[in-house]
Amino acid sequence: MTSISSLIRVLLPKVQVLKEDEAREEIQRNHSSCRAKDVTRPAKLPVNFFSTRSPVIDLFRGQLDYADHLRQDSEIVLYFFYAPWCGQSIAAREEIEHVASRLSDQVLFVAVNCWWNQGKCRKQKHFFYFPVIHFYHRSFGPIEYKGPMSAVYIEKFVRRVMTPLLYISSRSKLLDFLSNYEPGVLGYFEFNASPQPPGYLTFFTSALHSLKKDYLGTIRFGVITDKHVAEEISLVHSGSVYLHRHVNTSLIYPNDIMNYTAENICKWALENREMLIRWLRPHGGKSLLLNNELKKGPALLIFIPYNPLAEIHPLLDEITKVALEYHSCNKSQAAEPVLQHLGDVDSPAFDSPVPDVHTELSETFSITKYPCCNTVVLPQWHSISRTHNVCELCINQTFGVKPNKVNVPHCNFLEIEAALDSFYLQEHTFFQVISNTIECSNFLSFYSPFSYYTACCRTVNRHFLSFISSEKTIFQTPKVAFSSHGKKDKDDTQNSIPHIEDRNCFIPDLHDNGTNITGLSCRTNKTLNLYLLDSNLFWIYAERLGASRSTHLKEFAAIVDLKEEVHYVLDQNQSLTGSTLENFIKNFSILYSPLKRHLVDDPSVHFHAQRIITEVTTNTFHDTVFSNEKNVLLLYYAQWCGFCASLNHIFIQLARLLPPDNFTVARIDITRNDLPWEFMTDRLPTILFFPHQRKEQSVKFPEDFPVNLPNLLKFILHYSSLSSSDHCTKECLHKETVLQQGHISHLEREIQKLRSEISALHQAHDKLEEQLSKARREEQRLQQQKHTLEKQHKTLQLHSEQLQSTYDQKNQELLAMAEKLQELADASENLLKENTLLRILVASKEGKLQLKDKAKEPVQSEQTLSDDNDVSVSTAATTLGEKRIDNIDTIETEHSSENRTG
Amino acid sequence: HSFSLTLIDALDTLLILGNVSEFQRVVNVLQEGVDFDIDVNASVFETNIRVVGGLLSAHLLSKKAGVEVEVGWPCSGPLLRMAEEAARKLLPAFQTPTGMPYGTVNLLHGVNPGETPVTCTAGIGTFIVEFATLSHLTGDPVFEDVARKALKALWKNRSDIGLVGNHIDVITAKWVAQDAGIGAGVDSYFEYLVKGAILLQDKELMSMFLEYNKAIKNYTKFDDWYLWVQMYKGTVSMPVFQSLEAYWPGLQSLIGDVDNAMRTFLNYYTVWKQFGGLPEFYNIPQGYTVEKREGYPLRPELIESAMYLYRATRDPTLLELGRDAVESIEKISKVDCGFATIKDLRDHRLDNRMESFFLAETVKYLYLLFDPDNFIHNDGSVFDVVVTPYGECILNAGGYIFNTEAHPIDPAALHCCRKQKEEQWEVEDLMREFYSLKRNKKFTLKRASDHGEGESVQDSVDASSENGREKRNSKKNAHSLLSCPSQSFNSKLAVLGQVFLDNT
């Protein structure tokens, strides 16, 4: 693969050659011969792009200098560089206006037309696309925004630019900060001595810098000023920078190895951050993002509607918790001191009542940052384990907020109790377990784990619909709703073990020991990468994977395995919650996975009984092809494939010919409808024939023969066996009659066709007759015209003869005149000659006269004088000639000047 | 003349946009006022794609447009006769030793004495769609024969590495311009190999294209761009993208190479985003226009590709291009009485002209991109039954093949006239067999009979050697040449700009 940059080096010199080549580069369609005049018109002058009432300052003449000047007025400035013709800019305009209306008091919004070629902006900047959004935080910038062009995302980014650092003032804020799924960087700075502690500004800048690099803003930066808070994460020295990680050890910025610069801190954080679950936000241009991510291995894509501005994201929290669980497997790893210390304090409380099985797990929790979660899982008991998972989460959320926080004593108490109870109750009824855990979730009702738990109960009940509708009420009065559900379905639950993914059959294979979600990613050889997608922006991918179009709740999860070319879908009858996800992951990971390859089908196809060709989809495939007494001819096609579409008429003809009682002509659009592997095809069109008695022995129309009506008929005739008439029973006779009736109706149709053909021929014949008679009349008319023309021709000929004779006569006269003129000319020439001779004579006479006057002079000179005379005579002749030429010249110039003016 | 040219060119656009009454009116105007017996030098290529192509498509669509057609339609009709007349005016150009046509012909006197023998490649290989249609409808094989002969001559003269140049001498068969690429001067030659193969179910044409396609990928493709190379050596001669090349992704999608098509399309789309149009030439390494080639005459090619690709992928990115095109054309080029050519994309200066392909192609493809229910997109679920003196025909069942000037040809119409009778009798015999109770006969499928019946001995020798090559090829890859690969698994996620590597 040659990259563009290497191309540049190789090809730049050749561009020069191009200009010469242009001459022969005749563009075929350039037929510019009849162009009137080379008139061009400059582009229209730019006008306002934003309305004048908008809070956005619109520099539609591209006044970049003024835009720069404006920067002094505001701490935060957003520049929106647009081109007025650009659809993307036009679409983004509204979003920007929306953000501006909310933030215009704190942020200056400046739009600059960077297209108009007279404007400063166009002259100085060179953009390859529009719009471009740049931010300035005071003098820092530009920070380019590359996220989605949607108001909420832009606003979120603006807010991040406004406050790149979060102020972590207390332990509770610290814990909030640390529990977030997004990676976080913390700096500890003592603000007691100088106005700004050393390094603070660098840290601040690195926060801004990260926005430049990581435009999705997934690394959060926080600053701690309080010594005690800092100690919680074992930061002692002012100026330390700390990168928080959930599964791996958190890191402290190595001042001794790397220079303490904004770029380095940012780079360090980006390189070392933990990505347990990643947002995928394709930017819309050509990109290998999905290719690169999905090539890493099987991926779980989770689609949820996401509002970046929302304060809380319950569902997201739930999902990240699952992700954390899934990834927390570094049991032997030492965590950073503070948290470990905190964990140590707590864990004995758990450990003591929990017997052997759980000591190991509790170790896990104490080491990782979510000790509670890992402790109480009971893998052998699928349904119970779910309730246990719930307990973990409670602990998880409130863990470490030990001192003087309202929640803490409750949580500690409850988590112990829950853990104890669940352990104690694991061999008891489900009901009791549920009732116990209800309290737990009730307590933590403002946390997401709550709904997580709800889902568990639901699967036991298998009342999906009632569940969904009752979810809200559960949220409000969880206790009641839960216990009632639990009670009602007590009996059910005992024999139906909740296995969420499989909607058809019930597979009790989760007894398997290894299906604990905690740390599963390290134990399984089918490790999943987890990804989030905002379904407000990227729902199309979900639809592509088979998300039902009917749901208005845009939640969806699918596991995509690019290598195996399969994907699995979380049952869409269930809501997307932590526990359903967990089960989904578990089911994928176990050895004999109960998950079934999802087959996407085309929901837009509706079954038409009257259609001459039956349109088959994934869902109707089996019924149409197999559960059918008829012979089936099935065409695999795709709408885009040129070779398929041009065969349409042949299949229509075929379907019209074949008796519909015995034959079905069907087709399936294979791009929109997946089929089981054994029915897949790799070329289109493919034609399969399923004979009605041996459906399993389908035959393929040979590829190297042309697809036409006779060939198709022969193919069908060859493979469709009629029941042999050797042992003819009643049934057989009946069949025969049916067949013959079919034949008769076919023949009747044929006769009909022939009749219409005959009538068409008759019509054509009539038309021809008509035209013929018309032509004959025309011929006659022409004949007559010919006659008259001939007559005219004759008279014309006579006339021309006459003319010829007069012409000859005149010609002769002219010749005579010419002769006379010639004579005259000759005469005048003679006269002229005589005249010159006379002149010479006169001159010589004069000369002689002069000679006589000078008779006194010596005789020797006489000879020379006569010579002189000769010379002067000849000069006179030449001057005469020259004069004439001059005359002609002037005439000529006059003539040509006339020409020019004319 | 030029007046009626734009009329003919824009005629089927009227119908696709749903303006039936105007279509009917124009058909009447044309029948009265068009005369091809005029002393005019015309481009053979242009006359074919615009006049012959436009008239053929209007002829085939006229019934749909509510024009009262004569008995025998679609095998006869005034517009068909006009198309035939126009095509006959072009035939003298094909009277050369090589069979490759001259570029220009005088409609009244034939080829002018002293006419240059240099013709561009596209001017030689862009006839098969119209001429084969004409032959099938009228029953006169001469048109298809000359078109095939010209195609074969080009094929014979390709370079050792399998490329064709830009211009060739039709007398001596020497390449005059040796730049090989997919754009100006060559473009529709490749297009017609594919479309001819589809329209005529012709393996030979397709195998030619596939061979070219291999060479093009090997020598001219870099990072999903297609450059210009020297046709004998394969060295890069111009690292430019020409706006005419933007038809390529659409063509690829027709034969099922959708992934590559989309990747190239996305490259081209970035150029559009930079300028609000596609410059005639775009220097790829420099990322800017090329001097004197900065214009954008509102060409259709990128939109055409978007339409084809949208059929295949339903990717919203393609609609986004459509939106951008509408915005650009409205904001930049709209003037009082039309849409002006953009003279220079750097400053959006306008020229005092509107090309005829703007109405014939650009508007049509844009409309079709946004109108998935248009009859042109018919997937075969509806059709017309027409009774002709030659038998019953199924027409308008979709699968329209656009000629290079965006005039749609119904492939079913080619199976409607003259030749069909034999097939009908065969079908009748088979149906009798069908209803008989005992089946004794063995049924052997028939291979395609060789098309050109009137070909000379020399040609048939050529053809047989080509067939030999084809056979060897078909042994290598077992599948039929006239088929598309089904789309790979990852194509499900290949939308919104996402592309995937090595799908093999």
Instruction: Decide if pLDDT at B194 tops 70.
Output: yes
Q: Does residue A401 carry a pLDDT above 50?
A: no
A663 touching B (Cβ < 8 Å): no
Q: What's the mean pLDDT in A136-150?
A: 92
Q: Cβ of B435 and A17 within 8 Å? A: no
Q: Which long-range contacts (CB under 8 A, 24 or more apart) does B421-430 make?
A: B421/B390, B421/B391, B423/A708, B423/A709, B423/A710, B424/B391, B426/A710, B427/A657, B427/A709, B427/A710, B427/A713, B428/A750, B430/A710, B430/A713, B430/A714, B430/A717
Question: How big is the A-B interface in CB pairs under 8 Å?
Answer: 377
The type of residue at B262 is: M
Banded pLDDT at A132 (limits 50, 70, 90): very high
Q: Least CA distance to B347: which residue of chain A?
A: A117
pLDDT in tens, A658-686: 888 888 999 999 999 999 999 999 899 99
**Is there a contact between A49 and A93 (Cβ–Cβ < 8 Å)?**
yes
Q: Nearest chain B residue to A733 by CA: give it.
A: B437
pLDDT of residue A232: 87
Q: Angle CA(B187)–CA(B189)–CA(B190) in degrees, nearest 5?
A: 75
CB contact under 8 A, A713 and B501: no
Q: Which comes out higher in pLDDT, residue B220 or A874? A: B220
Instruction: Please name every residue paired with A221 in a beta bridge, in sequence order, or none if there are none.
Output: A165, A185
Stretch (H or E) spanning A102: helix A87-103
Q: Which of A16, A599, A602, A646 to mutate to test the interface with B (most CBs of B within 10 A)?
A: A646
Closest chain A C-alpha to B112 CA, distance in angstroms:
18
pLDDT digits (tens, 9 = 90+) for A320-355: 889 988 988 764 343 333 333 333 333 333 333 333
Question: How far apart (Å, rounded) are the C-alpha atoms in residues A510 and A584?
Answer: 11
Using only the alpha carbons of chain B, give its radius of gyration: 23
Q: Is A642 on the interface with B (CB under 8 A)?
A: yes
Q: pLDDT-derived band of residue A892, with 50, 70 and 90 as boundaries?
A: very low
* Least CB–CB distance from A36: residue in B166, B352, B438: B352
Considering only CB atoms, which chain A residues are within 8 Å of B312? Answer: 638-640, 671
In contact, B240 and B250? CB cutoff 8 Å = no
Please state, in angstroms and as integers, the Cα–Cα distance from residue B90 to each residue in A340, A554, A630, B87, B151, following that order: 90, 60, 53, 5, 16
Q: What is the mean pLDDT of residues A540-562?
A: 90
* Mutate which: A22, A30, A41, A85, vs B, most B CBs within 10 A: A85
Three-state SS for A614-677 is EEECCCCHHHHHCCCCCEEEEEEECCCCHHHHCCHHHHHHHHHHCCCCCEEEEEEECCCCCCCH
| Chain B CB within 8 Å of residue A755 CB | no
CB of A163 closer than 8 Å to CB of A110: no
DSSP state of A570: -
Nearest Cα residue in chain B from A615? B381
Q: Which residues of A touch B355 (CB under 8 A)?
A: 29
pLDDT score for A182: 84
Residues of B marked as catalytic = 46, 187, 280, 301
- Closest partner CB to A286 (pick from B263, B351, B443): B263
- Note whether A519 and A331 are within 8 A (CB): yes
Mutate which: B2, B167, B206, B392, vs A, most A CBs within 10 A: B392
For residue A270, with 0-12 CB atoms within 10 Å meaning exposed, 13-18 middle and 19 or more buried, which class applies? middle
Please tell me which of the candidates A34, A646, A649 has its beta carbon nearest to residue B198.
A646
Contact A286 B266 (CB under 8 A): yes
- The alpha carbon of residue A291 is apart from the nearest alpha carbon of chain B, in Å, by 5
pLDDT at A766: 86
A window 679-698, beta carbon within 8 A of B: 680-686
Q: Give the pLDDT band of residue B82 (cuts 50, 70, 90).
A: very high
User: Is the pLDDT score of A142 beyond 70?
Assistant: yes
Q: How far is A364 from chain B (nearest CA, A)?
A: 38
pLDDT(B120) > 80: yes
CB contact under 8 A, A541 and B493: yes
- Condensed to tens digits (0 to 9), the pLDDT of residues A478-505 reads 333 333 333 333 333 333 333 333 333 3
Say yes or no for a CB contact (<8 Å) between B495 and A739. no
Q: How many residues does chain B have?
A: 504
pLDDT in tens, A367-398: 333 333 333 333 333 333 333 333 333 333 33
Contacts of A722 in chain B (CB under 8 A): 437, 439
Predicted confidence band of residue A515 (pLDDT cuts 50, 70, 90): low
What percentage of residues in chain A have a pLDDT greater than 90? 42
How confident is the model over A463-483, as pLDDT tens digits? 333 333 333 333 333 333 333
Predicted TM-score (pTM) above 0.80: no
Predicted confidence at residue B96, as pLDDT, reads 96
**CB spacing of B397 vs A39 below 8 angstroms:** no
Poorest-pLDDT segment among A405-409, A720-724, B212-216, B261-265 = A405-409
- CB of B193 closer than 8 Å to CB of B206: yes
Q: Which of chain A's residues have a Cβ under 8 Å away from the Cβ of B2? A: 34
Which residues of chain A does B437 touch, with a Cβ-Cβ cutoff of 8 Å?
722, 725, 736, 739
What pLDDT shows up at residue B3?
52
Query: Quick one: pLDDT at residue A206?
Result: 92
B384 membership: H or E segment, kind and range: strand B384-388
Position A728 scores a pLDDT of: 60
Could you tell me the two tokens for B197? Answer: 């193969």
Q: Are strands A107-113 and A140-145 parallel, antiparallel or unpaired?
A: unpaired
Distance CA A635, CA A639 (A): 12
Please tell me the predicted confidence (pLDDT) of residue B502. 74
Residue linked to tokens 């004949």: A783
Sorting pLDDT into bands at 50, 70 and 90, what band is B343? Answer: very high
| Predicted confidence (pLDDT) at residue A549 exceeds the cutoff of 70 | yes
Answer left, alpha or beta for residue B396, where phi above 0 means left and psi between -120 and 50 means alpha.
Answer: left
Nearest to A31 among B43, B280, B340 (CB): B43
| pLDDT number for residue A727 | 56
- Residue B503: its pLDDT value, please? 53
B447 chain-A contacts, CB cut-off 8 A: 704-706
Q: Quote the minimal CA–CA distance from A598 to chain B in Å.
A: 12
- Using DSSP, how many helices (H) and how many strands (E) does chain A show? 30, 22
Rounded to a whole number, what is the distance in Å from the CA of B483 to chain A's nearest CA? 5
> Sorting pLDDT into bands at 50, 70 and 90, what band is A25?
very low
Position B426 pLDDT exceeds 90: no
**Chain A window 390-409: which residues touch B at a Cβ cutoff of 8 Å?**
none
Q: Which of A309-318, B301-310, B327-336 has the lowest mean pLDDT?
A: A309-318
Which of A115, A118, A641, A754 would best serve as a mutation to test chain B binding (most B beta carbons within 10 A)?
A: A641
Partner B contacted by A739 (CB < 8 A): yes
A452-A453-A456-A461 Cα dihedral, nearest 10 degrees: -120
> Chain A residues with CB inside 8 Å of B394's CB?
649, 652-653
H or E, element range at A299: strand A299-304
Q: Does A35 touch chain B (CB under 8 A)?
A: yes
Looking at chain A, how many residues does it have? 902
Tell me the nearest-neighbour CA distance from B439 into chain A, angstroms: 9
Pairing of strands A165-168, A220-224: parallel
pLDDT, residue A194, reads 66
The pLDDT > 70 percentage for chain B reads 91
Amino acid identity, position A828? S
Tell me whether the omega of the peptide bond preceding residue A142 falls within 30 degrees of 0, making it cis.
Answer: yes
Closest by CA position to B209, among listed B128, B118, B90: B128
Of the listed ranges A116-125, A759-768, A791-800, the least confidently predicted one is: A759-768
Average of pLDDT values for A703-709? 88
**B444 appears as a binding residue in the annotation:** no
What 3 state SS string does A370-436 have?
CHHHHHCCCCCCHHHHHHHHHHHHHHHHHCCCCCCCCHHHHHHHHHHHHHHHHHHHCCCCHHHHHHH
Of A211-220, A556-565, A748-757, B23-32, which gets the smallest average pLDDT? A211-220
Nearest residue to A479 (alpha-carbon basis) of A517, A528, A444, A514: A444
CA distance B32 to chain A (A): 18
